[in-house]
């Protein structure tokens, strides 16, 4: 059986997108403040429960999952320095791999490594960042780069299309009779004694 070609790798510079686009920046919990951040250190059951970036990260990951579906293998990279705990575990959800850089390592380093590994494996790569430094760093490697703003714009278009489809579906309730063509409906009417 022939092997299916691997999907292109989609690498998203997480906090660059979150901070660089109003769509996600608006979801940062500004009210968490220093007090909530300090409180996190002693929480034992949910050490990340008051992380002001949770909602923004979750929205970004959900949007990336929708955008990448069937076309990309998505990875969203976050810098551990931007977290309450630099020991954030990596995880996957909805087909998106979420990677946090290790302590002392920047997200840029992780992104550069992922892109380089993918290119050595002869995979296509789409990198989403507005960070010119990282764009230039991986610029020697054949990689397509997209700005954070363009990704956010594409996410808005995708979400708008989904919402419009949902609205059309919720307003349309067709009976079986409505879905039958005229000829079939006439035959059924004849069988039921209708003319």
Is CATH 3.40.50 what the domain over 8-191 is classified as, yes or no?
Answer: yes
Phi, psi of 85 (to 5 degrees): -120, 125
Q: What is the pLDDT of residues 108-118, one digit of tens each?
A: 999 999 999 99
Longest pairwise C-alpha distance within the chain? 81
Q: What is the pLDDT of residues 69-108, one digit of tens each?
A: 889 999 999 988 655 565 667 888 999 999 999 888 899 9
* CB contact set of 117 (below 8 Å; sequence gap of 6+): none
What is the SS3 assignment for 107-150?
HHHHHHHHHHHHHHCCCCEEEECCCHHHHHHCCCCCCEEECHHH
Percentage, residues of the chain above pLDDT 90 = 39
Spell out the domain ranges in the chain: 8-191
- Confidence (pTM): 0.72
DSSP state of 20: H
Q: What is the pLDDT of residues 27-86, one digit of tens each?
A: 998 765 444 444 433 333 344 456 788 999 999 999 999 999 889 999 999 988 655 565
Integer Cα distance of 17 and 10 in angstroms: 14
Integer Cα distance of 86 and 186 in angstroms: 70
Q: Chain-wide mean pLDDT for the chain?
A: 80
Q: Is the dihedral of CA 112, 62, 91, 53 positive or negative?
A: positive
């Amino acid at each position: 059986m022939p092997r299916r070609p691997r999907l292109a790798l989609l690498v998203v510079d997480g906090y660059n997108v979150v901070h660089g686009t109003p769509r996600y920046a608006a979801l940062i919990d500004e009210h968490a403040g220093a007090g909530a951040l300090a409180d996190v250190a002693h929480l034992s059951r949910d050490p990340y429960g008051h992380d002001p970036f949770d909602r923004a990260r979750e929205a970004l990951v959900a949007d990336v999952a929708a955008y990448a579906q069937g076309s990309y293998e998505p990875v969203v990279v976050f810098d551990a320095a931007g977290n309450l705990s630099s020991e954030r575990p990596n995880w996957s959800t909805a087909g998106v791999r979420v990677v946090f850089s290790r302590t002392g390592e920047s997200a840029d380093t992780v992104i550069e490594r992922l892109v380089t590994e993918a290119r050595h494996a002869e995979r296509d790569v789409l990198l989403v960042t507005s960070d010119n430094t990282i764009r230039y760093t991986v610029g020697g490697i054949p990689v397509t780069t997209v700005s954070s703003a363009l990704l956010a714009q594409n996410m808005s278009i995708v979400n708008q299309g989904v919402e419009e489809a949902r609205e059309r579906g919720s307003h349309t309730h067709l009976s079986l009779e409505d879905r039958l063509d005229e000829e079939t409906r006439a035959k059924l009417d004849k069988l039921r004694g209708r003319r």
